[in-house]
Chain A
Amino acid sequence: MSDETHLTAHHDLAPGEEEQHSVGERILGYVVGLGLALLLTATSFFIAGTDLVWQPSIPVALIVLAIAQMGVHLVFFLHITTGPDNTNNVLALAFGLLIVFLVVGGTVWIMSHLNANMPPMDQIMRMQ
């Protein structure tokens, strides 16, 4: 009996919605999120303009920092968690990310191959 009441009282959470927290805890969540986001942004802008690190590592560092900051936004502002009440939201997000990576990664991959296999423009003109 107690088992059933426990299960029927259990609801999914809407995206963007938090579990029952006090107002102070919710504000603290946003403050932590803002602090982390500002820290990551400042690091990105610093890395982009510095001579202190090995230059070829900068693009990779910028992409990693951007992905980390998107994660911070998802967790602290959009409240997407790994909890069982968030399964639907996470699955939708995972499908969206799959499409995003297919579109961006596939385009960059195919177009760079086409670019590499294409003769320079003056050769094409001479062939005609």
Chain B
Amino acid sequence: MAMTATADHVHADPHHIGRVIEHPGPAPKRIVTAYGFWIFLLSDIVMFSCFFAAYAVLSGQTAGGPRGSEIFEQRNVAIETVCLLLSSFTCGMASIAADVRNRFWFYLGMAVTCVLGLIFLAIEFREFADLVARGYGPSRSAFLTAFFSLVGCHGLHVSAGILWLLTMMAQVFAKGFRADILRRMMCFALFWHALDIIWVAVFSVVYLLGSAP
């Protein structure tokens, strides 16, 4: 009887607004670390929003150079997008494997994530090199400056993510699934998924909206 009354009370006030709770102490380190990293990710997204704003303003300023619809290849962008989506999935599998301390599935998930990330970077690098070779480098027009800085900034984040991924595999190899290694793995997974969210905005705003005639 007393138990059901308590349960009802907790459900009626899930955020504990109406009472003072005796806190057991500071939050566990895992929560503090991941929350701090979440704040960093949000500030990174705010930085990307400045690049998006610049692209939105400058996308029409082609200075006699090519427009977006003349240089974007949707097939390449579709392959890049599928690579990043699948790598986000395999990264999730690797973090589950790390939580249950299964080395084989952890290494397999991280290796597949790494390969998919490298395929993404190779396609993007080839696209950039092709544009520069045709004389459409970042100095050609304000539109191309905004395009290269926005997409290139995301590419740099992916490159940094792959380096971090390799160091995570090395740390698990050398030190095993210690608590601090698992915290770093959780931050890495957050970083990789956040990159995927930014890529959704990039392919929608830059490539699909930008290739409209």
Contacts and interface: CB of A to CB of B under 8 A. Distances in A.
B28 interface: yes
Interface string A1-44: 01110111001111111000001001100110110011001001
Query: Mostly helix, strand, loop or mixed at chain B's interface?
Result: helix
A100 B205 CA distance: 15
Interface residues of B, number: 60
Nearest to B39: A92
A62 B35 CA distance: 31
A73 B201 CA distance: 12
Contacts of B89: 30-31, 33-34
Contact of B92 (A30, A41, A87): A30
A14 B31 contact: yes
A11 B28 contact: yes
A74 to B, nearest CB: 7
Nearest to B48: A100
A104 interface: yes
Interface string A70-106: 1001100110000110011100110110011001100
A49 B45 CA distance: 28
A13 B86 CA distance: 26
29 contacts: A11-B28, A15-B35, A15-B37, A15-B190, A16-B38, A16-B186, A16-B189, A17-B34, A26-B96, A27-B93, A30-B92, A30-B93, A31-B89, A34-B85, A37-B85, A41-B78, A44-B203, A44-B208, A66-B205, A69-B200, A70-B200, A73-B193, A73-B196, A77-B92, A78-B194, A89-B35, A92-B39, A103-B49, A107-B56
> 6 tightest A-B contacts by CB?
A96-B42, A14-B34, A66-B204, A107-B53, A15-B38, A48-B208
